[in-house]
Structure 1
Amino acid sequence: MMDSAQAEILVASLLGKEVGGWRINSFLGKGKSAVVLACSREAEVGAIKVFHPELVERYGRATQLERILREKSLVGASHPNLVNILDGGECPETKVLYIVMECIPYPNMHDALLSIPSEMIPVLIAQLASAARFLEDRNLVHRDIKPENIAVSSDFSRAILLDLGVLRPIGLSNLTDVDQRSFIGTLRYGAPEFLQRQEEDSVEGWRAVTFYQIGAVLHDLIMKRVLFERDSEPFSCLVRAVIEKVPEIFGDNARCVTLANHCLIKNPATRLELVSWDRFQNLVIDDSPSITLARDRIRQRQKYFQVAAAQEKPVGQNPRSVRKTLDDVCNRIESRLAALMNDLQAFPLRSTQSIKNVEQCASETYIHFEKDELKGIPFKITVSIRFTLIDENLGRPIFRAEAAAACANEYIQIEMLPAYTPIHTGEIELLLDNSYLEEVFVSCLEDAYMQIEQGKWPNEGNIIALMVKRGAV
């Protein structure tokens, strides 16, 4: 790491001179291995990062030059939320390695954190994700997304992703630099699989890492403090927190809180199942009146997440804990269904049955509705809700919920139900507090009436599949 004395000597040797055709005008700052200076070339101005020669030789000139050339590959590729790269390479005269980028006259997000209004958080996160996706579309991954590497405009309306120094092409097994073997980035904001160098070198694998890092930035914006702040020292505590601890996140914007929780899930496969690029852009889409009440109910559940994160009692991967989790799901879903049927007042008499399969980490709740001539329903209807535990998530389980529905003249055998439709992936609380369950039952009952109106009655021994409205998966 370069100390202040080394930085001063390097700056003094460069001021007033040219590096790669760029005149060095003034000092802007320094990092661990380079100094940043204001520069100009004819009418063009920029910020030049010059790497300390001794550190370059110590850690490998070819490695650093390869990284610079990756950044230089973005010359001419412009995105409003990504710093523009102007030039880079090895200076023929001084032999120093450098990269030139546009000069951004804004503070970084970490320094501005306490001043950023909560209403601007969705805008900034959507822009950050857009910049990261821009890189992914070019088969590149940033790997060091954090508040210090994000500039924020003075009116908090624009975020700019900076510092592309550890940019990496995706899926290239012949890389020669050290980042094939060691952790590259910032520990606090690194995904657990990235910290342990267990990430998958694919678009999906690196996307999971990027989602985690964006979620970590979102955490800081919501909570107004750095991720795992209380676990910063000693170093081993921070490592353990990244791998094992679920951060507490609560705030006024339930959509942001939920997205941050999902981005910071430890298991990358679960993370990818819950998070997509669209979810970041949806933060800035106005809610329609039809889901306003559901959003209010979600806000009320934030205390649950806070308490769950604070208690943080990991659930072991064993049959007893799985059974306990499935028992809890079945009890809660049956209670929610009873309340829902009472609210709707539209369904015939029913019976409810729950079956748990511990080996498959799944449960199914069947709701059998009787015929009801007074309601104009001359056949029986069965609706099944299936929950599959996909990640115990340190005591805050993540489920995949699916539903199937059918009608018949007689009792419908479970194995005769049609294919299941995904309705939700995430915490059970979000399913219970949202409109997904109501949409399942309303859609299948409406389809039952449509079958009647079209003269499509089930024959003896046959069933007719009913439509189940697909939820947010």
Structure 2
Amino acid sequence: MSKSSGGDRWLSELGYKLGQTLGEGSYSKVRVATSAKYKGPLAIKVVDRRRAPPDFVHKFLPRELSILRAIRHPNIVRVFEFIEVCNGKLYIVMEAASTDLLQLVQQLGKLPCVPDARDIFVQVVAAVRYLHDRNLVHRDLKCENVLLTADGRRAKLTDFGFGRESRGYPDLSTTYCGSAAYASPEVLLGIPYDPKKYDVWSLGVVLYVMVTGCMPFDDTHIHSMPRRQKKGVFYPDGLGPLPEACKALIALLLQFSPASRPGVGQVAKNTWLKGALLNKDTSRSLNTRID
């Protein structure tokens, strides 16, 4: 019997039925699953500690698990169960989503600024605000890590592999992490950085991608990205008009100097975002404080 089929049988005994693989890395994979224990579709992240590098096993994974156990918010993917087994594998059982924000943007080309992009962004901001209020940071905010329900209206933040505790300045990080296309100038320059302001920059990139369908800065040559970032953001020809308030918010989030970027609490109070045509769940999530 293969290790994979053995793992499947073991989960089956716990009431889980595994389906197709959604994604796979060098030492982890995510699979669709169902269970009589929990309603709705599930995803199970399988982490193989034996194949993972020591830095991941002893530093990043414990941080991720600690964060996942501590958080609960309508716009953050809910984790139901952690299953440890003696063969070195860890199974993280969580709610599944139909798609992610990147796939939606690729499918549509770009999202209508109002209401679609604004309504989704409000929810992502609510999730990040919840984290920052608890001195937690994500450090890998990107469209792929924003999951969406089948109707595309409920957004849920996922993947806390680079998450950590941080109180913001002067509690600085020195670890380069995340995706270059979403990385702030100070991270790309290798300067000790405020992780909360890094998250705010990444929020700006996410909003830009939603309303334009493209990245604000070309990451082909990472070493020259900070120079382009310092010049500010430009919009593609033929894009069509965007609300000036949306463009102003993007410019504010993508301030080259981290000290000039707002905190996420200020972002949540932005008048353009406050004007979103929110459904009841989204409106509640924007102001939620869950302990």
| TM-score, normalised relative to structure 2 | 0.76
Specify the alignment match of 2:22 in structure 1: 29
Residues of 2 paired with 1:55 and 1:227: CA distance? 35
| Percent of aligned pairs with the same amino acid | 23
Equivalent position amino acid for 1:217 in 2 = V
Kindly tell me: are residues 286 and 25 of structure 1, through their superposed partners in 2, closer, same or farther at Cα, counting changes over 3 Å?
closer
Counterpart of 1:276 in 2: which secondary structure?
helix
The answer as to 2:180 corresponding to 1:187 is yes
Equivalent position amino acid for 1:277 in 2 = V
Q: Tell whether the 8 Å contact from 2:245 to 2:272 is kept in structure 1 after alignment.
A: no
Specify the alignment match of 2:198 in structure 1: 209
Specify the alignment match of 2:101 in structure 1: 109
Q: Tell whether the 8 Å contact from 1:16 to 1:23 is kept in structure 2 after alignment.
A: no
Residues of 2 paired with 1:274 and 1:60: CA distance? 28
Kindly state the Cα deviation for residue 209 of structure 1 after the two structures are TM-superposed: 1.7
Residues 319-354 of structure 1, C-alpha deviations (whole Å, 9 max, x = no match): xxxxxxxxxxxxxxxxxxxxxxxxxxxxxxxxxxxx
Kindly state the Cα deviation for residue 236 of structure 1 after the two structures are TM-superposed: 3.4
Equivalent position amino acid for 1:212 in 2 = W
Kindly tell me: are residues 157 and 234 of structure 1, through their superposed partners in 2, closer, same or farther at Cα, counting changes over 3 Å?
same
The answer as to 2:225 corresponding to 1:233 is no
| TM-score, normalised relative to structure 1 | 0.49
Residues 250-287 of structure 1, C-alpha deviations (whole Å, 9 max, x = no match): 74211111100110011011113898233446424279
Specify the alignment match of 1:118 in structure 2: 113
Q: Tell whether the 8 Å contact from 2:129 to 2:264 is kept in structure 1 after alignment.
A: no
Residues of 1 paired with 2:166 and 2:11: CA distance? 34
Equivalent position amino acid for 2:88 in 1 = K
Q: Which has the higher contact order (CA 8 A, sep 6+)?
A: 2
Counterpart of 1:17 in 2: which secondary structure?
helix
Specify the alignment match of 1:255 in structure 2: 245
Q: Tell whether the 8 Å contact from 2:180 to 2:188 is kept in structure 1 after alignment.
A: yes
Kindly state the Cα deviation for residue 197 of structure 1 after the two structures are TM-superposed: 4.6
Specify the alignment match of 2:288 in structure 1: none
Specify the alignment match of 1:152 in structure 2: 148
Q: Tell whether the 8 Å contact from 1:265 to 1:271 is kept in structure 2 after alignment.
A: yes
Q: Tell whether the 8 Å contact from 1:72 to 1:88 is kept in structure 2 after alignment.
A: no
Unaligned 5+ segments in structure 1 are 1-8, 288-473
Q: Tell whether the 8 Å contact from 1:11 to 1:27 is kept in structure 2 after alignment.
A: no
Q: Which entry has the higher C-alpha Rg, 1 or 2?
A: 1
Residues of 1 paired with 2:72 and 2:162: CA distance? 19
Q: Tell whether the 8 Å contact from 2:47 to 2:89 is kept in structure 1 after alignment.
A: yes
Q: Tell whether the 8 Å contact from 1:71 to 1:165 is kept in structure 2 after alignment.
A: no
Kindly state the Cα deviation for residue 134 of structure 1 after the two structures are TM-superposed: 1.0
Q: Tell whether the 8 Å contact from 2:128 to 2:264 is kept in structure 1 after alignment.
A: no
Residues of 1 paired with 2:59 and 2:267: CA distance? 31
Q: Tell whether the 8 Å contact from 2:188 to 2:222 is kept in structure 1 after alignment.
A: no
Kindly state the Cα deviation for residue 95 of structure 1 after the two structures are TM-superposed: 2.2
Specify the alignment match of 1:71 in structure 2: 67
Counterpart of 1:207 in 2: which secondary structure?
helix
Equivalent position amino acid for 1:118 in 2 = C
**Equivalent residues in 2 for 1:41-440 (5 A)?**
42-44=36-38, 46-74=42-70, 77-88=71-82, 91-104=84-97, 106-114=98-106, 115=108, 116-119=111-114, 120-171=116-167, 181-200=174-193, 205-228=194-217, 231-238=218-225, 240-242=227-229, 244-249=230-235, 251-272=241-262, 276-280=266-270, 282-285=272-275
Kindly state the Cα deviation for residue 20 of structure 1 after the two structures are TM-superposed: 11
Equivalent position amino acid for 1:256 in 2 = C
Q: CA RMSD in A?
A: 3.3
Residues of 1 paired with 2:195 and 2:119: CA distance? 23
Q: Tell whether the 8 Å contact from 2:76 to 2:157 is kept in structure 1 after alignment.
A: yes
Residues of 2 paired with 1:256 and 1:95: CA distance? 47
| Number of residues of Structure 1 aligned to a counterpart in Structure 2 | 263
Residues of 1 paired with 2:153 and 2:125: CA distance? 15
Specify the alignment match of 2:33 in structure 1: 39
Kindly tell me: are residues 60 and 226 of structure 1, through their superposed partners in 2, closer, same or farther at Cα, counting changes over 3 Å?
closer
